[in-house]
Amino acid sequence: MRLAILAHEKFPDRAKTAVGLLRYTDHEVVAVLDRDHAGDRVRDHIEDVQDAPVVAGIDDVPDIDAFVVGIAPIGGGFDETWRDDVTGALERGAEVWSGLHYHLADDEAFAALADEHDTRLWDVRDPPEDLTVAEGVARDLDATVVTTVGSDCSTGKMTATCELVEAARERGWSAGVVPTGQTGIMIEGWGLPIDRTISDFTAGAVERMLVERAEEYDYLFVEGQGAITHPAYSAVTCGILHGSMPDALVYCHEAGREAVHGYESFSLPDVGAHASLYENLAEPVSPTSVVAGSLNTSKLSEEDARKAVDEFGEALDEPATDAVRFGCEEILDAL
């Protein structure tokens, strides 16, 4: 499919979904919409991803199959300055994918246009109605389940998960991603938004995805969310940990981060102790262990990054890497 990604005024640093898609989607990105950077190319801003033109609006976008809302304002609402772009995409018959809390399918104008042009509005953060509680069966699946966990939100769990699957496939392993958040779901084209499920069904939703995919793959890499000690999001993390009943954990951290992002009065625990806490919390449900770590070193020089990864590995007492910068071989070897 040919995609255009809306990222007005936020590309690339505040456009996590846009950048995730540019890096990992199998689809072709033919344009990024950012009126502040119209005329640039993606590669003017970010390396190691698909290149595409940056354009001001839908009129400058070539033929597309899907139009993606690749940013979210605080609160997850719909910015009315995007309406012409979404309308234009629907009028061309393109699908529109969105991870906003505001569901485009509930917008009467968009719903009518999608109907008229026989195309799809895909609200990826709208979980299905028929989710249920976990049955506790993920430990019995044939596939080897690896779940990414971490010290905090935005430490690179989705990125590490995607890198691991790419590297595993290069080794010839049968490996798949189990996406749990909006960006991962858009990259993979399926998945459940675990942060939007009813809290009672958190583990059950993860379990359902694993059961669905376990026969297809030998290795399933579950995209983690948050942290089990996050003051706001720990419920989601705990549900993923117990719902996935992983055979192994990969611990993700960002170099230099010492406090919870957005909750700066909460210090992050020591990574070694934190990794043990994940193991201890998992143990009564399904024993597992942290087998490796991935450190996001994107803000460091190459030399400092190597040093930080070494220190991180010593603190974890496990093999470590930066999955994006230095590859995933240490982690795959540890599995």
Q: Where do contacts with its own copies occur on this chain (CB under 8 A)?
A: 133-136, 194-200, 202-204, 228-239, 241-242, 245, 263, 265-269, 274, 277, 280-281, 283-286
- State in angstroms the smallest separation of the CB of 280 from its own copies: 6
Helix, strand, or coil (residue 265) = strand
Q: Is the Cβ of residue 167 or residue 277 nearer to its own copies in the bound state?
A: 277
Whichever of 34 and 207 has its CB closer to its own copies, that residue is 207
The whole-angstrom separation of Cα 296 and Cα 312 is: 11
Q: What is the rounded distance in angstroms from the CA atom of residue 23 to the CA atom of residue 12?
A: 12
Nearer to its own copies, 17 or 297 (CB): 17
Nearer to its own copies, 87 or 154 (CB): 154
Minimum Å distance from CB 221 to its own copies?
A: 21
Q: State the nearest-atom distance from the C-beta of 293 to its own copies, in Å.
A: 18
- Closer residue to its own copies, CB minimum distance, 90 or 100: 100
Minimum distance between the CB of residue 199 and its own copies, rounded to whole angstroms?
5
Closest by CA position to 278, among listed 329, 205, 227, 208? 227
Query: How far, CA to CA in Å, does 93 sit from each of 10, 96, 167, 267?
Result: 26, 9, 36, 49
Give the torsion through C-alpha atoms of 148, 193, 263, 228, to 10 deg: -40
User: Nearer Cβ to its own copies, position 64 or 241?
Assistant: 241
Positive or negative, the CA dihedral 216, 222, 223, 225 is: positive
Q: Which of 159, 146, 131, 204 is nearest to 19 (CA)?
A: 159
Give the residue with the Cβ less far from its own copies, 270 or 329.
Answer: 270
In the complex, minimum distance from the CB of residue 161 to its own copies, in angstroms, rounded to a whole number: 19
* In the complex, least distance from residue 56 CB atom to its own copies, rounded to whole angstroms: 33
Q: Which is nearer to its own copies, 207 or 322 (CB)?
A: 207
Instruction: Quote the least distance from Cβ 139 to its own copies, whole Å.
Output: 9
Buried b (16+ CB within 10 A) or exposed e, 5-16: bbbbebbbeebb
Q: To 5 degrees, how large is the angle CA 102–CA 90–CA 67? A: 70
Smallest distance, Å, CB 237 to its own copies? 8
Euclidean distance between CA atoms 66 and 244, whole angstroms: 31
d(CA 113, CA 121): 10
Residues 6+ apart with CB under 8 A from 107: 78
Q: Can you tell me the distance from the alpha carbon of 310 to that of 132, in angstroms, rounded to the nearest whole number?
A: 42
Task: Tell me whether residue 257 or residue 306 sits nearer to its own copies (CB atom).
Answer: 257
Residue 278 CB, nearest approach to its own copies (Å)? 10
Spatial contact of 104 and 123, defined as CB atoms under 8 Å apart? yes
| Positive or negative torsion for Cα 297, 36, 33, 191 | positive
